[in-house]
Structure 1
Amino acid sequence: MDFTLTEEQEQFAEAIRRFLMTEMTPELTRELWNTDTGRSDALWRQLADQGLTGLMVPQEQGGLALGEVEWAPLAQACGYFALPEPLLDTALVAAGLLRDALAVAPHASARERCATLLERIATGDARVAVAHPQERLVADAHVADAILCAHDGAVHLLRPDHVTLTPRTGLDPSRRLFELAWQPDAGTELIPAGTGLWDMALNRGALGVAAQQLGLTQRMLDLAIDYSAQRKQFGKAIGAYQAVKHLLADVAIQLEFAKPVLLRAAAALAHGLPDAGLHVSHARVAAARCAWTAARQAIQVHGAMGYTWELDLQIFTKRAWALAGSWGDRAFHKARVGAHILDGGHDIGAGATFA
């Protein structure tokens, strides 16, 4: 199985990386920490102009009709630059859920509501928060133009005035988290229970987190390498010492082994494979291990400086730690992988990997 991206996919991802390198700087991150919303309308408009908000939206609603494979490198770029905007929740999870809902919506009115919101997502006119049953706290509900919520398996579409928000403080000041209080009724229900839409939303959310964790791993590794080349002890850069090299080599090896796992999960989702959830959980566990190791080793290389507020490293370590429990923690995803291994219905071993 070929896990390499096409030339067009690589070019698109590289264009987004160049854009974020220019626009999403650590200075902007710190500036947004001190604003009321923590978000930038100008940056959101630029993301929409790049076509990112319409990536999963069908062409009939003005989108690009692409899928999870294209999102894998883009979400890594979002992680690398610690993008605070709710791009993945809106353009990957919410847009994917609404796209799937178009196929199963029982009434023309529900299909019209889905199509209208997809059109607004594609043009960048709507941020959409997703309140999944797996998530007790909802990210970016305060700037959302619509919120997709679950109640007894059904999908409800809420306006901001339908919801009472209670802010909760998290580890990462860039993540704005809220508890939601709302009352379901016939007017808010979009799709009835039993469609499996929330399972797909969970897989897409977990895929987005795993990709961000790999991007964060690469950024923390780069920062540690740069610091080890500049910081000197006994007249030599600390990066010349074998012990420091081993710390960073461990991170690099884990990262390279996790990348194809992420792409396999993205391909499984894009092609609707029956074991897509297994591959997503595998990617999530591998990426979480990478990010945790990278944060630990990068701080070790920086020494006490790694803990200080002034260094950029803390932006990325806090994001990595904050994402550890998002869209299912490691225990949840390990349990999904374990259930697959131990159910007795699947062959285990290298020869059965791609069976």
Structure 2
Amino acid sequence: MDFVFDEDQEALADTVKRLLMTEMTPELIRELWTTPTGRSDALWSLFASQGLTAVSVPEAHGGLGLSEVEWALLAQTYGYFGSPEPLLDTALVAAGVLERLPSSGWRDALLRDVAEGRARVALVHPANPYAEDVHVAHTLLCEHRGALHRVDPKQCAWRALDSVDPSRRLFMLDWEPSSATRIAGREEAAPILARALDHGAFAVAAQMLGLTQRVLDVAIDYSAQRKQFGRAIGSYQALKHLLADVAIRYEFARPVLARAAAALADDHPQRAVFVSHAKLAAVAAAQLAARHAMQVHGAIGYTWELDLQIFMKRIWALAHTWGDSAFHKARVADAILGDALAIGPAQTFDLEEQ
């Protein structure tokens, strides 16, 4: 397989990086922790003005009609800055669900609202034990006994739950399903929910790679500034090895994520396996980065004042969303041991017979 991002995709990611570098600062993240919603309408409007909420929405509904390949870079950039806004949940996961529902007045209008930044949409999926961001959602898409329902948040009751990551807003949701709320039966909803799971896991994997790079950058900067015995601690070989291990794990995970993005974009028959592989590789890299960055910082790494904790907590929280490691290892194992996935060099590199 020969895969590279083209100039337009790289340019789009660079534009988003410059935007977030200015707007999505650790100071803003800390400030949002203290607000009632933990979310910023001004920031969401800014994302919409830059077209981020419209990335996955079809052009017929006012969107950009781009694919998961573009998201592979955008989501990594988004993860690097640790933004708390549910952009990927709405603009990638929920938009993908809406796109595959039959055309209707409410569905088409909601897609346009998502594209223009007028609506956040929360998907309540059985892969996640708790609902996220229902307090700011315009619409809820909820699974119940395999069917999919459209629910008005005003008609629900919810109870807030604590998370290790103060940026996350989790809820126990109480709502009443009915024939009026059902938008897809069990058979129609099954492939839609399966693809939503793949989108969610892919979004987490991409953010994890961004967080890996951020934590690595923080650790490198600290090791260059912190001195002991008259030398920067980064000059000691033991610390170099710690950071090099993270860099290697990160580089090995990047092509795996790109493969998952291409599989999603092409609706590859084995996309679930590629997505699970990407999440496993990205989570492993991010967790190693968090652990080694903490060792580089020493005791000060545990303090509330350092920005390192913002990104470490996000790593810890995201690692178990959209399927934990046991779930994704089982998907990969079932595909390989069950002969569902063709293996070998010819399959890996798409070699053609001469």
TM-score, shorter chain, exceeding 0.5:
yes
Residue 68 of structure 1 corresponds to 68
Structure 1 Cα separation of the partners of residues 72 and 340 of structure 2: 29
C-alpha displacement at 1:145, in angstroms? 0.6
Corresponding residue of 1:200: 195
Find the partner of 1:170 among 160, 163, 167.
163
* Identity in percent: 59
Equivalent position of 2:92 in the other structure: 92
Give the direction of change, closer, same or farther, for the CA distance of 1:340–1:11 in structure 2 (3 Å limit).
same
Q: TM-score w.r.t. structure 2 length?
A: 0.97
In structure 2, the residue matched to 1:130 is 123
Corresponding residue for 2:147? 154
Q: 1:58 Cα deviation (Å)?
A: 0.8
Aligned partner (choices 317, 329, 346) of residue 312 of structure 2: 317
- Say if 2:106 is the partner of 1:113: yes
Secondary structure of the equivalent of 1:344?
A: coil
1:26 & 1:298 partners in 2: Cα distance? 17
Work out the CA distance in 2 between the residues paired with 1:194 and 1:306.
49
Structure 1 residue 33, shift from structure 2 partner: 0.5
Q: Which runs of 5+ in 2 are unaligned?
A: none
Asked if residue 234 in structure 1 is aligned to residue 229 in structure 2, the reply is yes
**2: CA distance, partners of 1:39 / 1:295:** 25
Q: State the shift of 1:265 in Å.
A: 0.2
The answer to whether the Cα contact below 8 Å between 2:40 and 2:85 also exists between their aligned partners in 1 is: yes
* CA gap 1:346/1:160 in 2 versus in 1, 3 angstroms: closer
Contact 2:270/2:341 (8 A) holds in 1 = no
Per the normalisation by structure 1, the TM-score is 0.96
The one-letter amino acid paired with 1:302 is H
Aligned length: 348
Equivalent of 2:175 in 176, 182, 197: 182
Task: Quote how far apart the aligned CAs of 1:67 are.
Answer: 1.2
Q: Secondary structure of the residue that 2:273 maps to in structure 1?
A: helix
Distance in structure 2 (CA, Å) of the matches to 1:139 and 1:46? 21
In 1, Cα distance between equivalents of 2:262 and 2:309: 32
Unmatched runs of 5 consecutive residues or more in structure 1 = none
Q: Secondary structure at the match of 1:53?
A: helix
Structure 2 matches for 1:1-355, cutoff 5 A? 1-101=1-101, 105=102, 111-195=104-188, 196-355=191-350
The two structures, once aligned, show a CA RMSD in angstroms of 1.0
Q: CA deviation at 1:155?
A: 1.5
C-alpha separation in 2, matches of 1:274 and 1:284: 18
Distance across 2 between alignment mates of 1:130 and 1:18 = 29
Deviation at 1:200, TM superposition (A): 0.3
Question: Following TM superposition, by how much is the alpha carbon of 1:321 offset from its aligned partner in structure 2, in angstroms?
Answer: 0.3
